[in-house]
Structure 1
């Protein structure tokens, strides 16, 4: 019998899904949504909170404040509720309605930014607002996921070793790029191993993280309007840029096989399929993609036909054989 005293102790870290029956391509995803926060962000959130407590930065009576598109906000809201802190999440209009309600159910205040900064987009506007809050009230504590080294350390210490233990012959790892904490933690871990592993970053078209032009994005999670300060390009072998339309199609293809994954997962899987489609015919690699989130919080967006129609036009339907037949080699791969 397993007995826990904290909600973040419920976490299955060794579940992998074989997607070859779905797409006809050898690909496993590490499913990071099997915890009460519902995403990989629980690891970084807990690591940053515990480090702030050890350093004396986070003390009783403090109010956590953070900029988040959703998943980190949910994780911090849950942790703050359990450990007795207030929490204010500064998000933007792309945040899923279900995600906002979930944060509020933990007692968090959710502030929605709707006016983007002219040069740095909604993310820049969110960061500026958080900075004004902490300047105004000394009780606010900003963990700042965008520069906090414990963001990537969480994945260096847990996520990457878990992948290596299950796939000692790993050839290529696909990781989505948001704050790049997960990407950098995994990349640093595998760079230290004797056996080379190719690290492929997956990002959304419209994100500026890897130098592309900024453009409107509708699906929260991956991508950024400001280049992440945690990012070290030298640790990334290749980059695949994914249109959001492809994110939707990957999500729906997996859902039709009973796997309801989130938008970030759809992007990473789509990027992995594109990259693998560009490999020499007959080559068989051991490939793993990181699945950051569940799909239940996307029921009002990614899985809502009216929302999809409004933002992307009439949905395209993949057949049962999977979308890999129509994919071209990866865009943006080096």
Structure 2
């Protein structure tokens, strides 16, 4: 058993869940929620903070500031508390209440923006606020997860090798796309690996990350209201967009089997199971990445009033019956965008 003195020193990176008994397809889920920050964002947060410390950007009197829909904010709150920095998280009204309270419990200040940007999201408004803060006081240090190479380097060094070590015959990897840090770190690692791995990026309908039309998105985590600056589509073989209703159904289906995961995980698993169903083979080894667990979503995607108010009665108390393996009936609700590697 490890003994640690700093919360970011522990991160369980070797746990995988076999989802075949739930979905009837050969899919392994890499669980990234077992650390004190509760999500995969701990890796990027730690890499970016340590890099800023090494190059002298972060000083004892610095005030960390970052735009986050939730999980990175929690990770930075935890690290800031451990290292003695002040931290201000700029988030928006989609941020789960439990996430906001957790950041505040860790000693961070949370600013919530409510005005939409030109693409119908909140990111542009959040970034404007961060830039204004940095211009007002030189003590503010913005790590900028959207442009910081430490975001993808963290996954190049950790997440991808962890997957490769357990699945040397990996055929397909499904990665949710927000800032594109996890996607690009894993894609770069597997591009030069000893065997080809199909990289499937998963996005939310309403996100413009891959050039789609902007639309309402109520589940935080995946999707962007701008093109992610870190994204290089030459590393991506295919993009699948998932409707939020399918995200919720998938989350509830896993919960009925005892696995409570967050919205981003539901989106990625929904895309992966649909992709495997359409390709109709059991010979592939496929892995999907689960960014976090589900406790922070109890008042949203697992709450009847929230579901009813946003999506209608048909999603309330939904407990879908198990489908036959390789059922293709839901494939029309996704928007696959196939790419071939040049």
Q: How would you bin the TM-score normalised by the shorter chain?
A: over 0.9
Partner of 1:317: 319
2: CA distance, partners of 1:137 / 1:226: 27
Moved more, 42-51 or 109-118: 109-118
The 5 Å alignment of 1:35-54 reads: 35-54=35-54
Partner of 1:21: 21
1: CA distance, partners of 2:120 / 2:27: 35
Q: CA deviation at 1:121?
A: 2.8
The 5 Å alignment of 1:72-83 reads: 72-83=72-83
Contact map agreement 1:155 1:182 (CA 8 A) in 2: yes
The 5 Å alignment of 1:213-232 reads: 213-232=213-232
Contact map agreement 1:120 1:226 (CA 8 A) in 2: no
The 5 Å alignment of 1:77-96 reads: 77-96=77-96
SS at match of 1:121: coil
2: CA distance, partners of 1:136 / 1:242: 40
1: CA distance, partners of 2:107 / 2:284: 46
Contact map agreement 1:275 1:333 (CA 8 A) in 2: no
Q: CA deviation at 1:9?
A: 1.4
Q: CA deviation at 1:322?
A: 7.3
Contact map agreement 2:176 2:203 (CA 8 A) in 1: yes
SS at match of 1:332: strand
Aligned CA-pair RMSD: 1.3
Contact map agreement 2:69 2:94 (CA 8 A) in 1: yes
Partner of 2:65: 65
2: CA distance, partners of 1:322 / 1:248: 20
Q: Is 1:333 aligned to residue 332 of structure 2? A: no
The 5 Å alignment of 1:178-193 reads: 178-193=178-193
Contact map agreement 1:65 1:142 (CA 8 A) in 2: yes
2: CA distance, partners of 1:322 / 1:115: 44
Partner of 2:288: 289
Partner of 1:262: 262
2: CA distance, partners of 1:129 / 1:322: 49
Q: CA deviation at 1:283?
A: 4.4
The 5 Å alignment of 1:217-256 reads: 217-256=217-256
Structure 1, unpaired ranges of 5+: none
1: CA distance, partners of 2:262 / 2:324: 18
1: CA distance, partners of 2:310 / 2:325: 21
Contact map agreement 1:22 1:322 (CA 8 A) in 2: no
1: CA distance, partners of 2:49 / 2:56: 11
1: CA distance, partners of 2:87 / 2:211: 33
Aligned length: 333
The 5 Å alignment of 1:89-238 reads: 89-119=89-119, 121-238=121-238
2: CA distance, partners of 1:292 / 1:272: 15
Structure 2, unpaired ranges of 5+: none
Partner of 1:303: 302
Contact map agreement 2:25 2:325 (CA 8 A) in 1: no
Contact map agreement 2:207 2:223 (CA 8 A) in 1: yes
Contact map agreement 2:206 2:216 (CA 8 A) in 1: yes
Where has structure 1 moved over 4 Å in runs of 4 or more? 321-324
